[in-house]
Amino acid sequence: MARSEGDSWDLASSVGATATMVAAGRAVASRDPRGLINDPFAAPLVRAVGIEFFTKVADGDFDMAALDPSNAGSMQARIDEMALRTRFFDDYFLESTGAGLRQVVILASGLDSRAYRLPWPDGTVVYEIDQPAVIEFKTTTLASIGASPTAELRTVAMDLREDWPAALRAAGFDDGAPTAWCAEGLLIYLPPEAQDLLFDNITALSATGSTVATEYVPGIREFDAEKARAATAQMREFGLDLDMPSLIYHGERAHVMEYLTSLGWEMTGLPRADLFAKHGVPMVEHDNDPLGEIVYVSGEFQNR
């Protein structure tokens, strides 16, 4: 279903299903003997959502040999990247809190389980913001399996298109304290002007010394929707009916690092190839990546 103004979703539909897809990738990566990440909550969350294809992937019951070689290579590449993307943001949070930050905000938190699995320092408060149905589902599901947050977790059931800064403050957020912000896997699902507004709001809420991490996807500007559909066509044979091109906003938009720099952030970027090389993971060559190169970015706020 194509995006529309004011649309909503749960974790089995529209943009919400992409969070389930990402969690399925984390579940696979958590079984990888290379030990890049360990997310014991990914598979239970995926099972609870109930999308059969993603459940099979998460539980190791999907045989990638059933795919043609190009799609098998593409799927393995995406799983490897999910492991490394997760590791990038895990390390970012550990570095930020290791430097003394005790306030964390995860935007569009989806099935992110970091509040339950990372070794947060004492006194850390983690805020998760997402649609009410998403927040309720994850909270209830994790409680049902006996999971407990490893930090003080405060959920904010709020659409990012609404006045989430006010809701965040109402939940106890202190804009006078430095904050570690995370917008993982979010920007391509925002219109260009909403991306700018998101960064404007983050900056307005940030004390000097705050940090931010997200991605820059240059390929979104010249995104080829038909190539993207062709890349996932075979998945429909296995029951996955997720039309990614209809869920994202492509075309011209601000350069993430340049825009944040203009707001007073000191930014650095790590291209995907360098992230793979950093962890000694070979990149699987495939021709089915319509988004092209991705740059993982992080930075610190220097000027209030």
Look-up: residue for tokens 């990566």? 29
276, 242 Cβ separation under 8 angstroms:
no
> How many percent of the chain have pLDDT more than 90?
70
Per-residue HEC secondary structure of the chain comes to CCCCCCCCCCCCCHHHHHHHHHHHHHHHHHCCCCCCCCCCCHHHHHHHHCCHHHHHHHHCCCCHHHCCHHHHHHHHHHHHHHHHHHHHHHHHHHHHHHCCCCEEEEECCCCCCHHHHCCCCCCCEEEEEECHHHHHHHHHHHHHCCCCCCCEEEEEECCCCCCHHHHHHHCCCCCCCCCEEEECCCHHHCCHHHHHHHHHHHHHCCCCCCEEEEEECHHHCCCCHHHHHHHHHHHHHHCCCCCHHHCCCCCCCCCHHHHHHHCCEEEEEEEHHHHHHHCCCCCCCCCCCCCCCCEEEEEEECCC
Residue 10, pLDDT above cutoff 90: no
3-state secondary structure 15-54: HHHHHHHHHHHHHHHHCCCCCCCCCCCHHHHHHHHCCHHH
| CATH fourth-level superfamily of 66-301 | Vaccinia Virus protein VP39 (3.40.50.150)
Tell me if 302 sits within 8 A of 265, measured CB to CB: yes
Q: Which residue in the block uniquely carries the two structure tokens 């943001």?
A: 89
Is it the case that residue 7 has pLDDT exceeding 80?
A: no
What pLDDT does 227 receive? 67
Q: What is the mean pLDDT of the chain?
A: 89
Cα 18 from Cα 221, distance rounded (Å): 20
Whether residue 164 contacts residue 203, with contact meaning beta carbons closer than 8 Å, is answered with no
The answer to whether residue 189 scores a pLDDT higher than 80 is: yes
Average pLDDT value for residue range 25-34: 94
Q: Pick the more confident residue, 232 or 204.
A: 204
Residue 219 is predicted with a pLDDT of 80
Is it the case that residue 49 has pLDDT exceeding 90? yes
Domain positions in the chain: 66-301
Please say if the pLDDT value at position 1 is more than 70: no
Give the per-residue pLDDT at 290.
62
Question: Residue 140 contacts by C-beta under 8 Å, 6 or more apart in sequence?
Answer: none
Given a cut of 90, is residue 135 above it in pLDDT?
yes
Q: Select the highest-mean-pLDDT range: 66-70, 131-135, 149-153.
A: 149-153
Predicted confidence (pLDDT) at residue 283 exceeds the cutoff of 70: yes
- The residue-averaged pLDDT of 193-213 equals 97
* Cα-Cα end-to-end distance for the chain: 41
Q: 215 pLDDT exceeds 70?
A: yes
- Per-residue model confidence (pLDDT) at position 298: 98
Residue 200 has pLDDT above 80, yes or no: yes
- Region 145-149: what's the mean pLDDT? 98
pLDDT above 70 covers what percent of the chain?
83
Specify the range with the lowest mean pLDDT, choosing from 79-93, 123-137, 223-237, 275-289. 223-237
Residue 73 predicted with pLDDT over 80: no
